[in-house]
Structure 1
Amino acid sequence: MMTRVNRPFVGIPSFLRARIAPDITQLDAAIAILGIPFDEGSPFMPGTRMAPRSLREHSLRFCSEHRGYYSPEEKREFLGEEIRGGLIVDAGDVDIHPTNVEKTFALITEAVKHILDGGAMPVILGGDHSITYPVFRAFDGDIHVLHFDAHTDYGTLEQDMQYTNGHAFRHVVERAGASSLTQIGIRSLRHSAEIVEQVIEGGNRVIPMGEFRRIGPQGIGALLPENARVYVSIDVDVLDMSLVPGCVSAEPDGMTYAELRDSLKAIAERYQVVGFDFVEVNPLLDVGSGVTSYLGAHVVIEFLGNICDQPRWRASRRTTCPG
């Protein structure tokens, strides 16, 4: 039989060409990619519903079913064992019920619970940032939340608005399992003083860009006790707006890619990452090359590679390897 070439523009675009899980309730993997094509939480411009598909398509440019990605800087391969060993599956997308936000949120929580019950770590492709709340409520136990964003997404519940992308973290901190919330990269001038003060008065931490540049990525890796259980939520607009044309909420004075990458690497090295999401890419606004989706896939893949490179991960996967 002739070996397929499988260029990035060929085939069904599962994330990293991972095998597709036919039944999310019967997972046999250590990592499950889950798409949430939802943007009804975005009151300004729609389009992030198309991001999971776009992120999958751009992920095909990095790895194949035979190898992981190679870092010229570190001169070694990442994710190779996970890909060759079938430890990563693509669990497809949550079914979306248009205009029925509570039903969709219930389905999101249910899907993430299935992944966790199957012993896999969920990697979530959004969607707008409202999806972090129904994802997070699927987790049990005490978890610290690390939130990378230009905005606090801590809006007040008024005018019958409660499930937008500007409200997610007010809901997250109300969950019994939220040990702490740390918001990193906050800088938008569209905040009110009251909102930022409410975040801090709730016992949470806000790290604006000036403070981030003082403490650096290694400072992010020293915020919490070593081996703390963390959930990481990454809004693409934590990056500077010059890097992310396909993001409706982009802001100036954001992180470089290296600053975000190194911060996530420090998190992977010091903490136990129980899951993460990546949100707010809008392919409808992007330039023709899809650079924002490409950059998004880059963030997800490098963070996942650094998580899987840790001794704690290698020890845990002995019990999660298929077969």
Structure 2
Amino acid sequence: MTGYILRRVLQAIPVFLGTTFLIYFMVFAMPGDPILALFGDKTPNPAVVAQLRAQYHLDQPFIVQYFIYLGGIFRGDFGLSFSGEPINQVLARTFPVTGRLAIMSIIFLAISGIFVGLVSGLRKGKLFDGSSLAVSLILISLPIFVIAFVAQYVFGVWLGWARTTVGSGAPLQDLILPALVLASASFAQVMRLTRSSVIETSGLDFVRTAYSKGLSRGRVIPVHILRNSLIPVVTYLATDFGVLLVGATITEGIFNVPGVGNTLFQAIRRGEGPTVVSFVTVMVLLYLVVNLVVDLLYGLLDPRIRYVK
């Protein structure tokens, strides 16, 4: 196990370096001058412009800028945003909010998607199966902003069960509705993936053998069927967790969530390269960590998987 973890960490290093290099190149290769954009229609003082370029190392060659930025990452210093605020503070303020939102969404998604997919797979062709497939098809066809606006009106305005916008500090009760909206966007995939995996696993020899030995359905379903059906589902949930961390821009905008998506969108609009690159770098690190954790979970879900050559 230790050797496997060490190999995965070593494999992550070139992935991290290559990804950050491409992101840095694409952001800073964009046309336009971000320093001049700070002044809008005003004509800036050339001395001020030169000072700002030096402050953000924009007067250096691209490769020098990248290595300066990389050195800052290893020191835990992501630099300054164009507003003068340390990016570390922006990350500390926004990532916990989006992290709570993503975790709540994954919990809702895992519970509902796996449960409905399991029941649907065990009752293939029955009324519950047909109804769940129809609901999942509707959710797949609806854009996320439509689901968000409908949920906002129905549960926030009409029924009054939730706030239509997230309050200051993003309390957990205000994040429930946005988390449900995010979970609904991926519910169909998790439900259908679980259903197909359960149907496939139910027909395997070891499941029939378990029934022939006299084991009850209460033992066979959770231990033999569900456990062996969860590997593709766990893989999807891990990937989706990373997507939720970076892809909640629309939902965060509609519900006014002060998280990563909102902040990243505003940074892109303002052309704040350091902020954009730093946020994406942290997201890459989270992706790598989540993928490592998921690979380790495989061994718990399926003992046949071994972390040796």
Instruction: Tell me whether the two structures share a fold, i.e. TM-score over 0.5.
Output: no
Larger Rg: 2
Q: TM-score range by the shorter chain?
A: under 0.3
Looking at secondary structure, tell me which structure has more strand per residue.
1
TM-score by length of 1: 0.25
Query: TM-score of the superposition, structure 2-length normalised?
Result: 0.26
More helix, by proportion: 2
